Amino acid sequence: MSRSSESQGLQVALILSAMLIVALGVSTYIYYVAAEKSAKELENQIGVADTAAKSRDSYQAAYEIMKGMVGWSKRSQAEIDADYRPNLARNTEVAEEMAKIEAAYNDDMQKFGSQFTEARNYHALPGYLIGVINSKNESLTAALAQEQRLNAEIAAVQAGEQKKTEIAETAMQNALATVAADKAAHDAEAARLKADSDKFSGMFVAASGEKKKVAEDAAKEKANFEAQIRNLSNINELLVVKGREEELAVINEQPDGKISWVNQQQQVVWIDLGMADGLRRGQTFSVVDREATDLRSAIPKAQIEVTRLIDKHLSEAKILSDEITNPILPADVVFSPAWSAGERIHFALVGNLDYDGDGESDHKLVQNVILSNNGVIDALVPPTGEPSGEITVNTRYIVVGDRPTDKSDESALTNYSSMTELARKYGVEQISVKKLLSSMGYRGEARTVGLGRGASEDDFRPTSAGGVTEKSTAPVGGIFRDRRPPGAKSAF
C-alpha cells in the first residue's frame, strides 16, 4: 500500500517536473523572441537618432552659414567655415539645397559688389551700393560742370573765330573791290588801245607810206603799256606787302598780357589773362622787360607755362626758366607769336627746321608746339615728301628753315621756292624756328648725366661746338698718366 502510494507520488512528481520543464522551455522561447525583437527595435531607433542628429547638425551648419550671408553672425566667415561647413555634408539634401543658395549668393555679390573689399553680406551690401551711387552722382555732377566749362570755352573760341571771319570777309570785299577797279581800269585801257589800234589801222590804210612808222609806234605804245601794267602790278604787290607788314608790326608790338604778381621762391607768377581771353592750361609765353619797345627783336628774360585758370582775366603760371641777374618783375609783359586773345594764329612751315642743331629735321616738334599753343598750320612743306595746305590771307607767320641743297630732289627746291615766294606776295612775316620757339616760351630738353656706378667716363668728355671730342697733341707728363685702381692683395 505504502509502496503504491510512493509510486503514485513519483509519477505525479515526474509529471509536474515534465510540465515545469515544458513551461520553462516555452517561457524561455517567448522571452528570447521578445528580446530579439527589442534589440532590432533598439537598433532601428539608434539609426533614426543618428540620422536625426546628422540632419540637425546639417541644418545648424546651413543656418549659421546663412546668418553669415545675411550679416547677422558675430563670427567671421573663416570661423563659420571651420566650425560648421564640415557638418553641412552630413545631410545630402540640405547640402544640395545650400549649394544652390550659395551659388545665388555668390552671383549677387559678384553682380552688385565685385569691388566691395569689406566683409561681403546682404546686410552690408546696400550701404556699399548707396556709397557707389553717391560716388557716381558726384562724378556725374563734376562731369556736367566740366561740360559747362568746356561749352563756355568753345563759345569763347567760336566768338573769336566769328570776329576773325568778319575781318577776313571785310578784307576780301575790299580786295574784290580793288580787283574790280583794276579790271575796270584795265578794260578801259584795253579799249583805248583798241581804239588807238583801229586808228592806227585806218591811218595805215589811208597812208601806206607811213605803214612802217605806224607799226613801230604801235609796238612802242604796246610795250609802254605792258611796262605800265607790270609796274602797276609790282606797286600793288608792294602796297599789299607794306600794308601787311604795318599790320603785323602793330600786332607784334602789342604784348599779350602783363605780369600781375611774382613769387620767386615758389617759381610762380600771375598774369592778367584768363578764361574770358580763351587761354588754356599748357600755353607758354616769353617774358619781356616792361621797358621793351620792340617785342619782335626783344630778348626774352624768362619763359612761363600756364598751369591754372583763376578768373576771367587772371591765371597762374610756373616759371620754366629765368635769370637770377634779370628777374621777372610785376608789369613785365608776356608775348607769344602763336597766341592772341580771342583768335587762333595761323602758320606755314617750310624747309629743314633744325632747332637743336643735330642735323635732323624738327618739323614734328615745331608742329606739336604750335598746335599745343592753339595755333593753326595752314601750309606745310617738309624737307622730303609732298607739301600740304596753302597760304591764305589769314596766315600771319611763315617759319623758314634751311633751304634744300642742290643734292636734294628738284621738287623739294621747287616747293620751297614757291612757298616762300607766295608768302612774300601775301606779306606773311618770316621767322626762324629758334626765334619762334623762344618767343613762345618753349624750353628744350636739357641733357643730363647720371652719376654713381652706372656713369661712364665718355659722358664727361669735353666736346667742341661741332660735337667732336678734342684731344691734346702735346706731350703729357707722368703726373697726368692714366690711373688704375690698385689690384687686390692676397691675405696669404
pLDDT in tens, 159-197: 888 888 888 888 888 888 888 888 888 888 888 888 877
Q: Which domain holds residue 24?
A: 10-112
Q: How far apart are CA 225 and CA 35, in angstroms?
A: 150
pLDDT in the model for residue 306:
93
Helix (H) or strand (E) holding 396: strand 395-400
Residue 269 lies inside a defined structural domain of this protein: yes
Report the SS3 class of residue 270.
strand
Indicate if 439 and 351 belong to the same structural domain. Answer: yes
Whether residue 418 is contained in a domain is answered as yes
- Residue-wise pLDDT for 7-59, tens only, equals 888 888 888 888 889 888 888 888 888 888 888 888 888 878 888 888 888 88
Do 242 and 190 lie in one domain? The reply is yes
Among the candidates 279, 306, 335, a domain finishes at 335
Judged on CB neighbours under 10 Å (0-12, 13-18, 19+), 349 is: buried
Which residues partner with 350 through β-bridges? Answer: 381, 400
Q: Which residues contact 360 (CB under 8 A, 6 or more apart)?
A: 354
Question: Same domain for 240 and 267?
Answer: no
Whether 334 contacts 257, CB under 8 Å: yes
If one compares 449 and 177, the residue with the highest pLDDT of the two is 177
pLDDT in tens, 353-363: 888 888 788 88
Do the domain assignments include residue 131?
no
- Compute the average pLDDT of residues 210-229: 67
Phi/psi for 288 (5° steps) reads: -120, 145
**In the listed set 66, 92, 112, which residue is the last one of a domain according to the structure?**
112
**pLDDT at residue 465 in the model:** 44
For residue 326, the domain's CATH number is 2.40.10.410
Residues 54, 106 within the same domain: yes
58 and 29 both lie in a single domain: yes
Q: What is the pLDDT of residue 210?
A: 61
Between strands 346-350 and 395-400, the pairing is: parallel
Question: Furthest-apart CA pair in the chain: how many Å?
Answer: 220
Given a cut of 60, whether residue 365 has pLDDT beyond it is yes
Q: What is the pLDDT of residues 295-325, one digit of tens each?
A: 767 888 899 999 999 998 899 999 988 888 8
Mean pLDDT across 89-97? 83
More confident site: 212 or 207: 212
Q: Output the pLDDT for position 310.
A: 92
Number of residues in the chain: 492
Mean pLDDT of 119-131: 77
Of 358, 345, 342, 311, nearest in space to 163 by CA: 342
Q: What does the pLDDT read at residue 229?
A: 63
Counted domains in the chain: 4
pLDDT band at 490, cuts 50/70/90? very low
- Residue 109's pLDDT is 81
pLDDT of 39 reads 82
Asked if pLDDT for residue 409 goes beyond 80, the answer is no
Which carries the bigger pLDDT value, residue 224 or residue 86?
Answer: 86
Per residue in 94-115, pLDDT tens?
A: 888 888 898 888 888 888 777 7
Q: Report the pLDDT averaged over residues 408-422.
A: 82
Answer whether residue 488 shows pLDDT above 50.
no
For residues 179 and 198, membership in a common domain is answered with yes
Residues 186, 277, single domain; the answer is no
Mean pLDDT computed over 130-152:
89
Among residues 253, 353, 359, 248, the alpha carbon closest in space to that of 298 is found at 253
Rounded to the nearest integer, the mean pLDDT of the chain is: 78
Evaluate whether residue 120 is within a structural domain: no
pLDDT > 70: percent of the chain? 78
State the DSSP code for 463.
B
Domain boundary among 335, 364, 392: 335
* 261 shares its domain with 243: no
Averaged pLDDT for residues 450-478:
53
Is residue 231 over pLDDT 90? Answer: no
Sole residue written with cell 586808228: 199
Q: How far apart are CA 189 and CA 194, in angstroms?
A: 8
Determine the pLDDT at residue 467: 44
pLDDT at 466: 42
**pLDDT on residue 174:** 87
